[in-house]
Chain A
Amino acid sequence: MKRSSRPRLWRTCCALLLTIPGAVRAVTFTDVTEQAGIRFRHVNGARGDYHLPETLGSGGAFVDVDNDGDLDLYLVNGREWDPAPGTEPAVSVLYRNDGDGSFTDITERAGVSNSGSYGHGVACADYDNDGDTDLYVTNFGANRLYRNDGSGVFTDATERAGVGDTRWSTSAAFVDIDRDGHLDLYVVNYIRYDLRAAYPACSEGGVRGYCHPRNFEGARDRLYRNNGDGTFADATESAGISDPGGPFHGKGLGVVAADFDDDGWPDIYVANDDTPNYLFYNERDGTFTEIAVLAGCAYSADGIAQAGMGVDAGDYDGDGRTDIFVTNFSHETNTLYRNAGSGAFMDASYRARLGEESYLRLGFGTGFLDFDNDGHLDVFVANGHIFDSVERATDVVTYAQPNQLFRNDGEGAYTEAPFHPRVDVSRGAIFGDIDNDGDTDLVVTNLAGGPQLLRNDGGARNNWLRLRILDAATHRDAIGATVALRTAGETQTREVRAAYSYLCSNDLRVLFGLGEQAEVDEIRVRWPNGASRMLKHVPANREIVLSQDGIIKGDLPTTR
């Protein structure tokens, strides 16, 4: 009897392991930076003068600059304030994805070094509807627009386009605010800071450090309307982008454009540092109204203007409404604003178990991603403190910090998942499927150091489906299109967007995790111009390229 019971028990356990639906399968993120040939080093110019731009770091982009179907990598750099004569200047770098796991530096040929500028962020989109993706680089100083000529070579089109905002810009987003088919540009500006000004030195406990942003006035954001001829007009005032700047407003760092009320028009949410966040509601006539206070997403639940850094929007609880996640300072929670419908958001940070877990961290880059392809949006946060002397003030907050991955349990709550152990002063987080294997890989940028290219190993063990949504008229990615995918009675809703996280631009393709479902019951796509299309019974584990006219890549039946 004893001998026979053990195999039976063993068989029972095995059967359970094999059949538990949605059972956690180990996913690891492998650091492949070196083997990929990424040699980039971020330069922030810190030499003891404690200039505030040195704290922000830089971001980057996953962007297919040569239309070869895989994601290339652009990394923005700062620079030395006073480079020593004869030294190699720090430049931003464009790496071409060679498709075999390696990347090649093509910056010089591409002409996107942003040389001489102190760079922070980048926004990517085909602003001129010519079928290739262009780059807009934000700087401490005048921003730059690089126009792609179609072969991965760029020309500086800033002056002609009229988008060289000279304020201290951070994040930016291309978004078609008026649905005229031309992508407009929202530029987030931080604070008014003059390198030559004699600001009083700031210190803590006698140790010199960076000044708090409260010591400076906020810089106003800017909205550029695309004229459709390669030029833009400053529409900040006429569109009602009511960012007054000043001591207590609009120290912006992060931006995400999303259709929060599902009316088919993109709204704009801005994460502001130490000042209330903005939600610009699209009035559908080319103007916006700022409603964040009334909507309940300007402050935390207890009325605190937190230090907004990075931001993303996504439907984390599967109710069809777009929620907001904002990273904040240490001794603040990162804040999850649950969209409760009717224009109301609720601070659900503690409810979702994302409150205490973030309290001692200082979060920057962030995004909703489904790292294990189980059909639920997980959250990643890149962490690192601003003050290099913070450990003198407390024993529970550190300067370098671990990054955090939170797994969505499918019931509206998160659990911190194991992640790569490197501890650094991280800033940006870029999301995309660099090896086209069906799961989301990451780049984390680090302040005054090298980035990490983290390959997702194991995410694609669950089924997946990737969609690239194009606009039929221009064949550019249909930024703002929404995709609702239904399988096994559950619906996942996503939006085509690149601009989220912090100073970063991300994979424009929409990747859905399907768990163990081998087929999707139904996909509904709604384009920004109102057109829609439905696909039924779509097999998993493939990429489909779709426009209003039908499937461009992928042999599937379509139903209009």
Chain B
Amino acid sequence: MKRPHQRFAWLIAAAFALALLARVGYMAPSSGAADAYDDGVAALRRRDADAAMAAFARVISTDPTFVDAHYRLGLLYGGQAQWKPAVASLQSAVELDPSHADAHCELGEAYLIGIVQAAKAVTPLQRALELEPHHPRALRLLGVALLRLHRLIEAVENLTHAVEVDPGDPDARYLLGLAHYQNEEYHLAVTVLTDLVALWPWHAQGHATLGNAHLRTEDVVAGRRHLRTFEKLYRDSERVQVLERATQADPTNADAWMQIAQQFVNRQEWGRAGEALRAYVRVLPADERGQELLGYVYLQMDAYELALDVYGGLVTQHPTAPEYHNSLGIVYLLLGDHGPAIDHLLRATELDDLERPYLLNLERAYRRAGDTERADETARRYGKMTSRGGSP
């Protein structure tokens, strides 16, 4: 029943999913507690939250000092939006192990996102940062807490640090821009948010706040441009919502799955694109287009083993299609398996000797395999083809 556009809600899912699978090690517990703990971890791996919670509760009843059991139980409660026991468990974890930076961070998050008391979140988040000064999530969360408390100068400091620690985190950049904006530092907001949308052009919120910041600096043209982009991106996400509803009503609606996938591919949201494409392929397993796009998405996700399965299947189904041999060869190359890489790239050039990129890939495969002679020969063929003017 929760609404999709919850302010800062994106923090919740990412944080708990990541944290649950981290910090596998634990301190020497009693054997009964250790067995129960192993059960809990195993349950987590099969995504059975209820069994995991039961197991960690057993650990604690056997050994109340078992820090990681408290910690994981806290995360699991948080994942089920049961924030009061989440806070209690995480509080126990930090009391038992005051050096547990992640537990402090999660406790801060539970206060900030769950209980919604930013003032109470500040202390554990600061403690996490005392223990790990470059803890990216603690920095970002502390920035959010300070934003909510309207302590804008401190928010800017923390979020600036968060961006320095993880320049690839669009959310930290967005929050920094928002903090400048709220602090009426509109030119600084424009600078930060311009960088953001240059790196992530599909960041709708970034365009919204950037548009407003431009308007405050009286750059009406730029302001309107970014607000229009924001609205377009918003419409796109609305279209995705409609399509998702269509797939909920009819999970075999392949066309809707493909349109969703294409939206996410356009936005380079590879994980969500992959989910949609897997659903598409389940509906239409023989459809080349879906498998090809899924393989491409797996490559973008650096999921080479998965890409290998997809392209391997395509080559089996279409043994005379040079593009699939080429793709499969690239995957082998990325996996460092040069023999099969060369086999498939060679086959691709045999099936289509006018496609220059195939030759270029083959040359690279030979070179990585240490076969300089064949690499040079392939490079000469490539050069001749270039001078003749093959396909680009």
Which residues in A have some Cβ–Cβ distance to B below 8 Å?
200, 204, 209, 212, 214-215, 247-248, 274, 293-294, 296, 299-307, 329, 331-333, 340, 344, 350-351, 353, 355-356, 359-360, 387, 389-390, 393-396
Contact = CB atoms under 8 A, between A and B. Distances in A.
B148 A302 contact: no
A307 B3 contact: yes
A333 B238 CA distance: 22
Given A296-B212, A302-B208, A306-B5, 14 more contacts: A212-B1, A215-B245, A300-B7, A303-B207, A331-B7, A333-B7, A340-B216, A351-B150, A393-B2, A394-B82, A395-B81, A395-B84, A396-B81, A396-B114
Contacts of A301: 178, 181-182, 209
Contacts of A355: 148
A394 B227 contact: no
Contacts of A332: 3, 5-7
Contacts of A356: 116-118, 148
A331 B227 contact: no
B216 A350 contact: no
A302 B224 contact: no
Nearest to B215: A344
A396 B83 contact: yes
Contacts of A200: 249
Contact of B115 (A209, A212, A396): A396
A301 B230 CA distance: 13
Given A214-B241, A395-B81, A302 B1 contact: no
Contacts of B242: 247
A429 to B, nearest CB: 23
Contact of A390 (B1, B83, B223, B249): B1
Contacts of A209: 1
A359 B149 CA distance: 13
A300 to B, nearest CB: 7
Contacts of A390: 1
Contacts of A214: 4, 241
B9 to A, nearest CB: 7
Interface in B107-154: 114-118, 147-150
B150 A393 contact: no
Given A303-B209, A395-B81, A248 B3 contact: no
B45 interface: no
Contacts of B7: 300, 302, 304, 331-333
B174 to A, nearest CB: 8
Contacts of A306: 5
Contacts of B160: none
Contact of A296 (B1, B83, B147, B215): B215
B204 interface: yes
Given A247-B242, A300-B7, A350-B148, A394 B208 contact: no
A396 B114 CA distance: 7
Interface residues of B, number: 46
A305 B5 contact: yes
B235 A293 contact: no
A384 to B, nearest CB: 15
Contacts of B89: none
A393 B6 contact: no
Q: Lowest 6 A-B CB distances belong to which pairs?
A: A303-B208, A394-B81, A303-B205, A331-B6, A304-B5, A359-B116
19 contacts: A214-B4, A247-B238, A247-B241, A248-B238, A274-B5, A293-B230, A293-B231, A303-B205, A303-B208, A329-B3, A331-B3, A331-B6, A331-B9, A333-B7, A356-B117, A356-B148, A390-B1, A394-B81, A395-B85
A395 B116 contact: no
Contacts of B85: 395
B81 A393 contact: yes
Contacts of B147: 350
A442 to B, nearest CB: 26
Interface in B352-382: none
Interface of B is mostly: helix
Contact of B82 (A294, A333, A389, A395): A395
B289 to A, nearest CB: 28
A312 to B, nearest CB: 22
Contact of A389 (B1, B81, B209): B1
A504 B114 CA distance: 33
A306 B174 CA distance: 19
Contacts of B215: 294, 296, 344
Contact of A387 (B1, B204, B224, B235): B1
A344 B117 contact: no
Given A303-B208, A394-B82, A396-B83, A350 B3 contact: no
Contacts of A329: 3
A331 B84 CA distance: 16
Interface string B229-245: 01100110010011001
Contact of B235 (A248, A304, A396): A248
Nearest to B175: A302
Contacts of B208: 299, 302-303
A41 to B, nearest CB: 27
A254 B197 CA distance: 34
B188 to A, nearest CB: 16
Nearest to A246: B238
Contact of B84 (A305, A307, A393, A396): A396
Contacts of A296: 212, 215
Given A209-B1, A303-B205, A329-B3, A396 B238 contact: no
Contact of B2 (A294, A331, A359): A331
B340 to A, nearest CB: 48
Given A215-B245, A331-B9, A360-B116, A393 B182 contact: no
A350 B182 contact: yes
Contacts of B81: 393-396
A333 B5 CA distance: 12
B185 to A, nearest CB: 13
Contact of A204 (B1, B181, B231, B241): B1
Contact of B204 (A204, A303, A331, A350): A303
A360 B111 CA distance: 13
A359 B231 CA distance: 25
Contact of B150 (A303, A305, A350, A389): A350
A274 B117 contact: no
A294 B219 CA distance: 12
Contact of B178 (A302, A331, A395): A302
B182 A351 contact: yes
A301 B7 CA distance: 10
Contact of A274 (B3, B9, B114, B115): B3
Interface in B191-227: 204-205, 207-209, 212, 215-216, 223-224, 227
Nearest to B204: A303
Contacts of A307: 3
Contacts of A387: 1
A303 B118 CA distance: 21
A302 B209 contact: yes
Given A200-B249, A350-B182, A393-B2, A294 B84 contact: no
B14 to A, nearest CB: 16
Nearest to A329: B3
Chain A CB count within 10 A is highest, among B2, B147, B223, B230, for B2
B215 to A, nearest CB: 6
A494 B216 CA distance: 27
B82 A302 contact: no
Contacts of B114: 396
